[in-house]
């Protein structure tokens, strides 16, 4: 329920098009701290971003050396750009649909969901000798490749691979219509 409310809040802020901070060029060597705030990154280079307590980060370009999601229902949406290290310390909803992420590190797995919107037929998972997921690779929907190292992923159920959301919506609606049609025949 918390995730649904978070998604609705985040979508409404995205539709409004308003962010507390927008970075589109330049270099930021000092850490950026977000607390109950939103950040849109369309370009530039940032050394470090720290978030907590219902913060939203949307990345459509640029580069981040390290982004840390601390507890408090944070969200990260990425459609392009480069992230060297994504660190999740609990309570984070990450939606990834493009760009490059070298490494995702999980410190706390509480209320974490990482969704790759990609060509699910191209996804390849690598495991270490203990059966722990250590790397995922595949193709984004635009055909570009991703290859992300994973650290401390003891619970594989935190990562989801889904095709384009519109296709899933159409499949779901089609299924509902078929079920409705079947019920009306009875």
Q: What is the pLDDT of residue 5?
A: 39
pLDDT of residue 75: 92
State the pLDDT at residue 85.
Answer: 96
What is the predicted pLDDT for the residue at 158? 86
Count the Cβ atoms, other than its own, within 10 Å of residue 130. 7
pLDDT at 33: 81
Render each residue's pLDDT in the chain as its tens digit; 186 residues: 444 434 444 444 444 468 999 999 999 888 788 888 999 999 999 999 998 888 999 999 999 999 998 888 899 999 999 999 999 988 889 999 999 999 999 888 788 889 999 999 999 999 999 988 999 999 999 999 999 999 887 788 889 898 866 665 656 666 666 665 555 656
pLDDT at 40: 94
The predicted pLDDT at position 6 comes to: 42
Residue pair 34/51 in contact by the 8 Å Cβ criterion: yes
């Amino acid at each position: 329920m918390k995730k649904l409310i978070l998604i609705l809040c985040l979508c409404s802020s995205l539709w409004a098009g308003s962010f507390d901070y927008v970075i589109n060029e330049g270099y930021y060597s000092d850490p950026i701290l977000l607390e109950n705030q939103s950040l849109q990154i369309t370009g530039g280079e940032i050394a470090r971003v720290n978030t907590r307590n219902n913060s939203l980060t949307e990345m459509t370009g640029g580069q981040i050396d390290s982004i840390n999601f601390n507890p408090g229902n944070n969200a990260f949406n990425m459609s392009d750009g480069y992230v060297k290290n994504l660190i999740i310390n609990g309570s984070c909803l990450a939606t990834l649909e493009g760009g490059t992420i070298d490494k995702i590190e999980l410190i706390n797995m509480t209320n974490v969901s990482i969704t790759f919107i990609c060509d699910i037929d191209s996804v390849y998972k690598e495991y270490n000798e203990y059966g722990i997921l250590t790397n995922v690779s595949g193709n984004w929907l635009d055909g570009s490749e991703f290859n992300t190292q994973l650290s401390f992923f003891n619970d594989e159920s935190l990562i989801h691979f889904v095709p384009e959301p519109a296709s899933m919506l159409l499949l779901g609606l089609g299924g509902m219509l078929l079920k409705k049609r079947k019920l009306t025949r009875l």
